[in-house]
Copies of this chain bind each other. A is one copy, B any other.
Amino acid sequence: MSTASSNTQPRHESGRLLVFYFLLLVGGIASFWWIKQVGQELKAPAATPTSTTTGVTKSDGVDVVVHVLATLAAVIAMGNLFAWALKRFHQPAVIGEVIAGIVLGPSILGTYFPDAMHCLIPDTSSDPHGLVVSSLKTIAQLGVVLYMFIVGLELNLQKVGHQAKSAIAISHASIVVPFVLGAVMALWLYPMLSTSDVPFTSFALFLGVAMSITAFPILARILTDQRLDQTDLGVIALSCAATDDVTAWCLLAFVVGVAKAQIGDAVMVAVATIAFIAVMFLVVRPLMLRWIAWAELRGLDQRTTPLLLIALLCAALSTEAIGIHAVFGAFLLGAMIPHDSRVSKELSHKLHDVVTIMLLPAFFAVTGMNTRIGLISGFDSWLICGAIILVATIGKFGGTILAAHLTGIDWRTSAALGILMNTRGLMELIVLNIGLSLGVISPKLFAMMVIMALVTTIATAPILRKLISSGELQPYLMES
């Protein structure tokens, strides 16, 4: 490569350059030395408290950024380690990260090495206003909002359309059955695990919804890992899970509305939610389709991503303003964008890694911090925990298998579908954190439900592999 200097500058000028450089450095240092000597004689006005602190909030002695960065580093490192170790057991990566969050929280690290945990999350004596926790929660929320947007982006609403009838029937059966069983269970759990400031209706509704969640993204990941995503079984499972997602999140939106609102306001929230969904499907989706068709023809430009992210934030803020949760708006906006458009693919490719690797660990840290396994002590508590797992599985599995068989699918394939739909993963944790922060479920019930989410998710892949290797799933394992 010919450079400007070699074009114009003869080699013997190198010496001159060296002299110049030497003079420059010596001159610079000497000048600063002289300035320093002169300047130290100078007097500045006395410090007044307002002149230095207004506009800048001092962090009360705790260095928030250091704690947040350290927590993120710890969760990412340990989460990847666990995910790597669990991979041989065909577990999705998210399991490793959830466990890392729990291990680094009060359940394990906080119990045995409280000082080590306080390096990550300082205790109330050094961070009285909870600035570190508040920052972590905000990053977690930002991560979850972006993540739910990606989940919406990857949702294939058209595919559901192809076999809408079976998908809707199976999916809604797999929601109604665990929902009702969860509500029945509320009759048993409410007097034991709730408090009198939580109305029974909110408690029962929430438990019902929490039982009926299926994790679409983890389901998709498991199907891809096992090379089932293009088979008939995979296509049905994905369609059902997609319908599940939309239905369950609409239901959750309603439940959160009920839990937050007074009895009279709940109707308002329901009306506003339905109006929001209607606007999204009847106004935003057609506009989005037209805009995307135009944008793809014209080529995506630098403005596309910012515009969509602004739309995303507005959708999230709208649902938050209605009184349902920000994640619902983000998810629904994502679902409005056709999953096979270039816009959707590029956006999901760009967002995916930063969101899952960098921002979601904050969510796992917060979830782990809130999960205090120590609260489940004694035989009775673990019995309840086991009962929750059992009821959740029976509801999801039973509902799916029943409806699937009714649509003409053989029992064994229906069972595989039932097992797949029982995956709860990250979605369940998002729902549980919403319930905990609303105060609808207690920390003890939260810990039990987290274990339920973990167990049902961990069980999916191994059981599915057993069923497949037994060789009787053949008719549904052909590529469609």
Contact = CB atoms under 8 A, between A and B. Distances in A.
A68 interface: yes
Nearest to A48: B195
B1 A39 contact: no
A5 B36 contact: no
Interface in A97-139: 106, 129-131, 133-135, 137-139
A236 B3 contact: yes
A141 to B, nearest CB: 4
A17 to B, nearest CB: 5
Interface string A1-31: 1111111111001101100110011011001
A370 B403 CA distance: 60
Contacts of A64: 134, 137-138
A56 B440 CA distance: 13
A437 interface: yes
A305 interface: yes
B408 A39 contact: no
A163 B46 contact: no
Contact of A201 (B2, B40, B47, B180): B40
A425 interface: no
A19 B131 CA distance: 55
Interface string A374-411: 00000000000000000000000000000100111110
A11 to B, nearest CB: 10
Interface in A39-68: 39-40, 42-48, 51-52, 54-57, 59-60, 63-66, 68
A407 B5 contact: yes
Nearest to A321: B66
A284 interface: no
Nearest to A110: B55
A316 B80 CA distance: 20
Contacts of A10: 408
A84 B302 CA distance: 11
A44 to B, nearest CB: 4
A77 B4 contact: no
Contact of A56 (B93, B208, B370): B370
B204 A69 contact: no
Q: What DSSP secondary structure best describes chain A's contact surface?
A: helix
A470 interface: no
Interface string A282-325: 00000000000000000000110111011001101100100000
Copies in the complex: 2
Interface stretch (A182-190, A273-281, A333-341, A451-459): A182-190
B369 A1 contact: no
Given A236-B4, A350-B350, A183 B443 contact: no
Given A165-B5, A173-B24, A36 B134 contact: no
A165 B17 contact: yes
A197 B47 contact: yes
Contact of A32 (B204, B316, B439): B204
A357 interface: yes
A267 to B, nearest CB: 16
Nearest to A50: B443
A256 to B, nearest CB: 14
A87 to B, nearest CB: 10
A414 to B, nearest CB: 11
Contact of A166 (B5, B93, B137, B480): B5
Nearest to A78: B310
15 contacts: A5-B236, A20-B169, A24-B176, A25-B172, A35-B180, A39-B201, A39-B203, A44-B200, A45-B191, A45-B196, A69-B316, A69-B317, A73-B310, A349-B350, A354-B355
